[in-house]
Structure formats: C-alpha cells, structure tokens
Amino acid sequence: MRVGGIVYKKIGTGLLLLFCLFVPIAAEVPPLSSASAVVMEAESGEVLYEKDAHTARPMASTTKLMTALLTAETLPLDRELTVSAAAVAVEGSALGLRAGDKITVSDLLTGLLLVSGNDAANAAALSVADSLPAFSDLMNAKAAALGMHDSHFVTPSGLDAAGHGASAYDMALLGRAVLQNDFLRQVCATKTARVYFGAPKREVWVSNHNRLLKLYDGCIGMKTGFTKRSGKCLVSAAERNGVTVVAVTLNGGDYWNDHMKLYAHAFSLLERVQLPTAQAASLPAAGGMADEALLQMPTPPAVTLHTGEKPTMQVRLPRFLWAPLTAGEEVGSVTYTCGDRVLCTLPVTVAQDLPARTPLSFWGRMWKYCRAFAAWILK
C-alpha cells in the first residue's frame, strides 16, 4: 500500500516503512600542517577524516580536558577547595593560585580551561585524589572506559613526562565526552570569565587562549596545548545547523587554519535531518471495554546524517492486545536505521487506559442472549 509517497509492507507481526538510501562521495581535505589530525561527528563518533590518527604523541595542555572531566564528574561544582602548597609547586602557565587560597570547583575548572593553569590542574588533581600518581591512575582508568586505547596519562597538566601521550583519535573521544558535560561545554565556549579566589577572595578576569572562538562562528573552543616536545596541539569543536563536530590536531604549525579546514570538510558532508513520525495507529484489543486500543506513536529526534542519506523506519507491533491495558504501557517499537547503523529505537505505548470487560453474571448472559434472539426475530 502506498500513502503519501511512503511504502507500507506487512512483515510478520509489524509494519515496515522504507525510505531509499543514498550514500554521498566524500570531499578532499586540503593539506594540513599537523602531523596527526582527525575530525569526528560528535553524536555518532563517526570519523570523517583522519591523518595518522592512531599514533600516540605528546598532547601538552589538551591533557587538561581529562583533568577537567574527572574533576567535574567527581566533585560538586559549588564545593570550596583550599589550595595546597604541593598544588602550586609547578612550572609553566598559571592561574595565579597560592597556598591557602580558597576557590570553588567551578571557578577552578574555568581557570584550568581558559588560561590553562598548571597550578589549577594540580589543585584539581589533588582535590580528587591523594596524590598526583593516584590521579594519573584515575585518568588512565577513565581513558580506558572511553575507549582511548592509544593513550597514557602521567601528569594532570600535560607537562612533558616519560610515557605521557595520546593519539588524535583518542583525544577526539575525550572531546566528545567533554561536550556531553553541560558545564564543561559552556566553559570551553566562554571567551572571558570572572573567577574568585584567594584568602580573602579577590575578583580575577580570565580570557580563553583559543583564538578559534573569534575566528570561526559556531566554535565551541575546548583546549589548546604547546610544549617544545609536543608542538602545537588543539582539541576543538564547532556547531553549524545543528551538526556538531570535534577536531583534533597534534604536533602542528598553523593549527587554527588546520581546524577550519577540518570544519569545512566535515560540514560539507553532514546535515541535520528530522526523523519522520510513524502514522497514528490502533490495535484490536481482546477482553476490553472497547474493541480497539489507541496507540501513542513516539516523537522522533533529529539526527546527523551524510548529505542526501535517508533513514529507514521500521514499526513493530503485535497483531492484537489483551486487556486490561494501562496508558504508557509499551506494546511495540519504532526503529530508525541508515544503512547498517541503528540510529535509535523508540517505544510505542498505549495512549489511554483500557479496562478489562467485566464478566457477565448468569442473568446478565441470559439477558444478552434474549436481546440477541429478539433482534433476530425482528429482522
């Protein structure tokens, strides 16, 4: 049966709604200055371009994304911390913390990500774990949980250390995880912020080192990094027309332009598509006060697909239902796929309560039969 250009086919106990599938041809990426690079669609984790993406390299202060993620997942953002002498005994870029300073977790993470404070990284690490080595163990456990198999973390700040490194692909996985934390996503996209710390506390304005926030409309920022050993490193993200991508470059030169090239490539391939809603339906109901049960079809989300791709929708429903039924009770499903990928599976539920039919008494059944007989006689 064809309705509105959609083909419905009966298959087993359900309905199958099919849409055609189109796979586009990928565009080329201009030459990059970075030794390793990757750009990934943030929702699915699909790699859209890679260059030596699985070689572990020093990643400098982009390490702080892992430190921030662990801290944000472990400590309440409004908790006030006291900075230890061990935390500030570190070289390199600094927020300006001193031993004995008071600072909230949220302000500490803001200083960590915007000005790349090594003192903030150590303070966060020592607030989560008893020692820096213990925190590095937590970093590596989190990396394993995220599927970062080409990474090993030693320092919370990203300062060079033997064995400290990650691949571009792994850092993209980390970037995806950071984007899923609403607070960290907001901080990464912040150009300037006001934080408070000290003993007593004082107001300090901090600015983001990521120039892409000014150069590229829709950039979400994330984290820069540099040491002589690592070269220029950058983990960034950008959003356009509802599509979000994560880009990573390690050991680069002109990393701002590298990332804008990666964005242009990724956004040329992708588009945001609203999944179609399944047609309203009802099912025969046995033993109920009504003969049919009304169904509530799910409201599907928008998803990111390659330009020109069309999703496949499969509705699975039983042939009939048994009363009693309760509103919200799951009785089927709608699955959306694109090629071999399952985009999502959503439940089909009962729209309203359907009580079971009350069994008739002996006299009730006799009255029913008499009415039926009378109707037959009067035909």
Alpha-carbon distances, residue 123 vs 41, 63, 82, 223 (angstroms)? 33, 15, 9, 18
Query: What is the C-alpha separation between 261 and 281, in angstroms, rounded?
Result: 47
Please classify residue 96 by burial: count the beta carbons closer than 10 Å to its beta carbon, then call 0-12 exposed, 13-18 middle and 19+ buried: middle
Of these residues, 36, 51, 64, 136, which one is catalytic?
Answer: 64
Is the separation of the CB atoms in 151 and 165 below 8 Å?
Answer: yes
Pick from 329, 327, 345: nearest CA to 337: 345
Tokens of 372: 């039926």
Query: What is the C-alpha separation between 198 and 88, in angstroms, rounded?
Result: 13
Residues 6+ apart with CB under 8 A from 363: none
Burial 46-71 (b: 16+ CB within 10 A, else e): bebbbbbbebbbbbbbbbbbbbbbbb
Alpha-carbon distances, residue 97 vs 65, 75, 193, 202, 313 (angstroms)? 19, 19, 16, 11, 55
Is the separation of the CB atoms in 34 and 258 below 8 Å?
Answer: yes
Alpha-carbon distances, residue 136 vs 1, 86, 126, 142, 318 (angstroms)? 61, 16, 11, 10, 52
Of these residues, 34, 36, 106, 116, which one is catalytic?
Answer: 116
- Examine the residue annotation and report whether 61 is marked as an active-site residue of this protein: yes
Tokens of 273: 């598509």
SS3 178: helix
Query: What is the C-alpha separation between 276 and 345, in angstroms, rounded?
Result: 13
Of these residues, 34, 36, 51, 61, which one is catalytic?
Answer: 61
Alpha-carbon distances, residue 224 vs 31, 39, 61, 189, 230 (angstroms)? 21, 16, 6, 13, 12
Cite the active site residues.
61, 64, 116
